[in-house]
Amino acid sequence: MKKIIVPVDFSEHSEFALEAAASLAQKFNSELIVLHMLELSNAIISSSSDALSQEAVFYLKLAEQKFDDFLDKPFLKDIELTPIVKHFKVWSEVNDVAKEHNADLIVMGSHGVSGIKEVLVGSNTEKVVRHSDIPVLVVKHNPILFDFDNVVFASDFTEEAIKPYLRAKSTFDKLNAKLHLVYVNSPDGNFLSSSEIDKKIAEFLEKADGDLNSLNAVNVVSDYSVEKGILNFANVIGADVIAVATHGRKGLSHFFEGSVSEDIANHSTLPVMTFKI
C-alpha cells in the first residue's frame, strides 16, 4: 500500500480519518495525500477583476494556513505528506486525484453519533464512495489501537459478488490481514439448507479463485437477520474492520435482500470498507 488519500474538512471526524490513515502509513511506509476541497465559485477563480482575484488569493491563503495548522499533529511525524487544495468542492474529483496519484485507498471520517448513514446517503462520503474505483475506508471514531488483523467480508456468494470479493482479497492480502468470509442464513434472507449453502459457496470459490483453497475461511452462521449475523460474527471473532460491497454510482449496494450494506454501515461501531461491484 504505497499511497493513501485522506479528504479533510478540518472537522473532528476528518482528524479521526487522518489519524487512522497515519497508522496505516506508518505500518506500510505509505505516502499520505491529504486533500482539502475549497469551495470557490468559478466567477471568483476565473474573474479578471482585481477585487475578485484578490478575494480568491485571500481564501486560498486562508485555506493553506488552516491546512498547515491542521497537519501539525504528532501522529504525522516522519510520515511522507502531500497536501493538495482543490479549488472546487466536487467530491467526484477525489477519484480523479486517486487516479492521478495511483492511490491504493481513500480514508474518510463520518459525522454524527447515529452512525454513518446520514453521511453515506446524500452527502460527501456517499459521493466519494459512488465515484471511487478504489476501496474507501470510513472511520467513525477516534482510531485507538487501530489495526487490520481480522477483517470480516460478508457475501451472499452470488456471481455479482465475485468482483468485490477479489478486490477485497487483494487489498487485505497487501495489508497482511486475515480475511474471514461469512454467509448468514436467516429468515429475512433466502433461507437455504446446509447442502444448498455448501454447493453455493463451492461454486462461488471455483469461479472466483479457480480452486477451493479459501473454503476454510468461509463461516456459515444463522441469525434472525443478515445484518445481525454479520455484526454478531464480527464481535465474536474480534474483527477490526467490516467490508461491504457497493454499486458505485447507484449508491450503497442492496448487496443482500433489502439494504443490508447500508444497515451495517449505520450500526457497526467498527470501521467499514467499501468495494465497488
Domain ranges of the chain: 3-139, 150-276
Band the pLDDT of 119: cuts 50, 70, 90: very low
Report pTM.
Answer: 0.81
pLDDT digit string, tens, across residues 44-83: 445 455 554 566 666 667 777 888 889 999 999 999 999 8
Q: Is the dihedral of CA 32, 36, 37, 38 positive or negative?
A: negative
What's the pLDDT at 140?
Answer: 80
- Which parts of 168-233 are beta strand (E)? 178-185, 218-222
pLDDT tens-digit readout, 206-256: 999 999 999 999 999 999 988 899 999 999 999 999 998 876 555 444 444
Architecture of the domain whose range is 150-276: 3-Layer(aba) Sandwich (3.40)
More confident residue, 37 or 49: 37
In this predicted structure, what is the pLDDT of residue 230? 92
Instruction: Convert the pLDDT of each residue in 185-198 to its tens digit.
Output: 988 767 899 999 99
Q: What is the mean pLDDT of residues 138-163?
A: 85
Partners of 244 in the β-ladder: 274
Say which CATH superfamily domain 3-139 falls into.
Answer: HUPs (3.40.50.620)
DSSP assignment of 206-222 equals HHHHSSSTTGGGEEEEE
Q: Are 78 and 27 in contact (CB under 8 A)?
A: no
Please give the residue that has the higher pLDDT: either 266 or 232: 232
- From 48-62, 119-133, 143-157, 262-276, the region with the lowest mean pLDDT: 48-62
Q: What is the dihedral of CA 58, 64, 69, 73, to 10 degrees?
A: 170
Backbone angles phi, psi at 47, to 5 degrees: -65, 145
Which residue is it, cell 437477520?
Answer: 225
Indicate the range of 26-35, 37-46, 103-112, 173-182 predicted with least confidence.
37-46
* 118/114 Cα distance (integer angstroms): 8
Instruction: Determine the pLDDT at residue 88.
Output: 63
pLDDT above 60 (res 7): yes
pLDDT at residue 27 above 60? Answer: yes
Helices 93-100, 124-131: crossing angle, 10 deg rounding: 50
Region 195-206: what's the mean pLDDT?
A: 96
pLDDT for res 128: 81
Predicted local distance difference test score (pLDDT) of residue 258: 42
Q: Are 3-139 and 150-276 in the same CATH fold?
A: yes
Distance CA 93, CA 83 (A): 15
**Whether pLDDT at 173 is above 70:** yes
